[in-house]
């Protein structure tokens, strides 16, 4: 009897159920932890995601099974599409739309960068992905993690792990991906172009913007409402200046709490059987395609705008249309000042940069509208 | 088998939606920005003229004194 119990206990140990797939996923999780902790690659997201992958790949835990702890994070937070809009609330409470208001045509550059989304969409179809999967992969080009997760939850939940890790990893690789594309598509003279100072934007304009943006975008693309409404509410909190407590809680405490749930929820979807397949490799390749075409789209449309416009823009700022705020704008600024040390493009590049966040949310809404 | 016609319509409607939404938003904020700057200019001109009148009246008072 005792011997039988002992044998059963030993047979029930998790270690016997460990598969090679679990071990490979651990190695991947350690690699992501290394990137996040040692190299500072999107640590706020990659630390919980990587630990989520690590914990989800222990056998017999029931963490990711129905009713398990990670399942609850995933099901209630992500599958119900609750967390990405809450992240957008926090992002809104951190975003200054002043550069967009000072130079509204940067909105078109934010739209232009979404061309990368559609380039990756078609490339993914050529790789044999379904339309739903291709849309989820394409949105990686928007360089916006919460939007990628939101669209994935809507159209292809089985790809969420790979697409979100690709989106967050490539956001950190913006300084590697943008410069060669920007240098290939612009001349030194264009990169050296100095842009004139921006006009001062009044407080009233900043308060009015979230209301106008909500009106225009949600009326045109209602499926973008969960992201846009929360983004603009967060921005209204900040710009109104009368709800400091709500502004602070949106961009600090709430954002931090939901980030933990988001990271663990996403990580928990990355089981060996879900992640270890050729599709994951294709997704990472397509992520680079998406990012490169997004930067290229922004630059080329900026050049086109210059043909018709009196007030010319430095075409480099188009590349900042890939969201990744504010890293893309910083990278663009650095390329500009490399060509001309007198060139200060940072604030000009912030316009397309924040416009890109809106553009990606609209693109995600448009995909849901057309596909679902 | 990819339904290319559906894919094309998804992409076309997406691109149109993105450019339309951000294009209309651009026009809207250009107009509102223009209105705000005009209102500010009018306000500044009004302040300037009233300050000018005060200076003139001060000068008149000091001349009489």
pLDDT of residue B64: 59
Determine which helix (DSSP H) or strand (DSSP E) holds B5, and give its type and residue range. Answer: helix B4-64
A304 in contact with B, Cβ within 8 Å:
no
Query: Between chains, do A101 and B21 touch, taking CB under 8 Å as contact?
Result: no
Percent of chain B with pLDDT over 70: 78
Chain A hits for B7, CB-CB cut-off 8 Å, are: 121-122, 125, 131, 134
Which among A105, A131, A367 is the nearest to B26, CB-wise? A105
From A138, A113, A174, select the one nearest A298 (Cα to Cα).
A113
**Ordered DSSP codes for A70-137:** HHHIIIIIIITT-HHHHHHHHHHTT---HHHHHSTTHHHHHHHTTHHHHHHHHHHHHTT--HHHHHHH
**What is the rounded CA–CA span in Å between residue A221 and residue A217?**
6
Q: How far is A114 from chain B (nearest CA, A)?
A: 8
**Nearest chain B Cα to A355, which residue?**
B22
Q: How far is B18 from chain A (nearest CA, A)?
A: 6
Domain boundaries, chain A: 80-371
Closest residue in chain A to residue B5, using alpha carbons only: A131
- Chains A, B: CB contacts under 8 A, how many? 105
Residue pair A166/A178 in contact (Cβ under 8 Å)? The answer is: no
CB contact under 8 A, A201 and B33: yes
pLDDT at A321: 93
What are the pLDDT digits (tens) for A238-249?
999 999 999 999
Q: What is the ipTM of this complex?
A: 0.91
**What's the rounded Cα separation, in Å, for the pair A126 and A115?**
17
* CB count in 10 Å sphere of residue A77: 22
Mutate which of B1, B11, B27 to test chain A, going by most A C-beta atoms within 10 A?
B11
Q: Are A193 and A314 in contact (CB under 8 A)?
A: yes
- Whether the pLDDT of residue B63 is over 70: the answer is no
For residues A78 and A76, give the distance between their C-alpha atoms in angstroms, rounded to a whole number.
6
Measure CB to CB from residue A125 to each of B2, B14, B20 and give the nearest one.
B2
Tell me chain B's radius of gyration from C-alpha atoms.
28
Q: What is the pLDDT of residue A34?
A: 96
Per residue in B23-47, pLDDT tens? 999 999 999 999 998 988 898 898 8
* Rounded distance between C-alpha atoms, residue A116 and residue B13, angstroms: 15
Q: How far apart are CA A216 and CA A275, in angstroms?
A: 39
Check residue B65 and give its pLDDT.
Answer: 54
Please tell me if residue A125 touches chain B, with a CB cutoff of 8 Å. Answer: yes
Give, for all 372 residues of chain A, the pLDDT tens digit.
788 888 888 888 889 899 999 999 999 999 999 999 999 888 999 999 999 999 999 999 999 999 999 999 999 999 999 999 999 999 999 999 999 999 999 999 999 999 999 999 999 999 999 999 999 999 999 989 999 999 999 999 999 999 999 998 888 889 999 999 999 999 999 999 999 888 889 999 999 999 999 999 999 999 999 999 999 999 999 999 999 999 999 999 999 999 999 999 999 999 888 899 999 999 999 999 999 999 999 999 999 999 998 889 999 999 999 888 889 999 999 999 999 999 999 999 999 999 999 999 999 999 999 998
pLDDT given at position B62: 62
| Beta carbons of B19 and A367 less than 8 Å apart | no
Q: At what angle do helices A20-37 and A160-172 cross, to 10 degrees?
A: 30
User: Which pLDDT belongs to residue A42?
Assistant: 86
Q: Which helix (H) or strand (E) holds A9?
A: helix A2-11
What chain A residue is nearest to B22 in terms of C-alpha separation? A107
Q: Check A358 against B25: CB less than 8 A apart.
A: yes
A114, B2: Cβ pair inside 8 Å? no
Contact B25 A101 (CB under 8 A): no
């Amino acid at each position: 009897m005792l011997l039988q119990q002992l044998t059963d206990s030993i047979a029930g140990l998790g270690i016997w159920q460990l598969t090679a797939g679990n071990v490979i996923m651990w190695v991947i999780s350690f690699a992501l932890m290394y990137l996040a902790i040692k190299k500072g690659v999107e640590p706020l997201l990659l630390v919980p995601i990587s630990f989520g992958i690590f914990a989800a790949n222990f056998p017999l835990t029931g963490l990711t099974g129905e009713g398990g702890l990670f399942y609850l994070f995933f099901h209630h937070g992500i599958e119900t599409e609750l967390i990405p809009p809450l992240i957008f609330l926090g992002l809104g409470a951190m975003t200054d739309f002043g550069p967009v208001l000072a130079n509204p045509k940067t909105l078109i550059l934010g739209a232009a960068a979404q061309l990368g989304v559609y380039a990756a969409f078609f490339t993914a179809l050529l790789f044999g992905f379904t339309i739903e999967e291709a849309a989820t992969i394409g949105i990686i080009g928007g360089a916006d993690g919460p939007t990628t997760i939101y669209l994935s939850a809507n159209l292809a939940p089985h790809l969420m792990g790979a697409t979100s890790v690709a989106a967050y990893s490539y956001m950190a690789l913006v300084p590697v991906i943008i410069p060669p594309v920007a240098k290939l598509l612009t001349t030194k003279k264009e990169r050296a172009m100095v842009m004139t100072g921006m006009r001062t934007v009044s407080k009233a304009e900043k308060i009015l913007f979230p209301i106008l943006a909500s009106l225009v975008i949600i009326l045109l693309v209602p499926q973008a409402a969960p992201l846009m409404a929360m983004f603009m509410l967060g921005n209204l909190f900040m710009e109104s200046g009368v709800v400091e407590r709500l502004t602070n809680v949106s961009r600090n405490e709430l954002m931090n709490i939901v980030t933990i749930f988001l990271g663990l929820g996403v990580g928990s979807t990355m089981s060996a059987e879900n992640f270890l397949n050729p599709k994951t490799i294709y997704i990472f390749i397509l992520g680079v395609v998406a990012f490169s075409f997004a930067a290229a789209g922004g630059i080329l449309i900026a050049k086109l705008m210059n043909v018709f416009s009196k007030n010319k823009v430095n075409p480099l700022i188009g590349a900042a249309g890939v969201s990744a705020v504010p890293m893309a704008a910083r990278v663009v600024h650095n390329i500009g000042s490399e060509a001309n040390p007198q060139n200060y493009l940072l604030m000009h590049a912030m316009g397309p940069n924040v416009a890109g966040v809106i553009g990606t949310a609209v693109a995600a809404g448009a995909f849901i509208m057309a596909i679902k | 088998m990819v339904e290319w016609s559906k894919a094309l319509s998804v992409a076309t409607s997406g691109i149109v939606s993105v450019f339309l939404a951000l294009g209309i938003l651009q026009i809207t904020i250009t107009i509102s920005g223009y209105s705000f700057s005009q209102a500010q200019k009018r306000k500044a001109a009004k302040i300037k003229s009233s300050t000018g009148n005060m200076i003139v009246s001060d000068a008149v008072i000091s001349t009489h004194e």
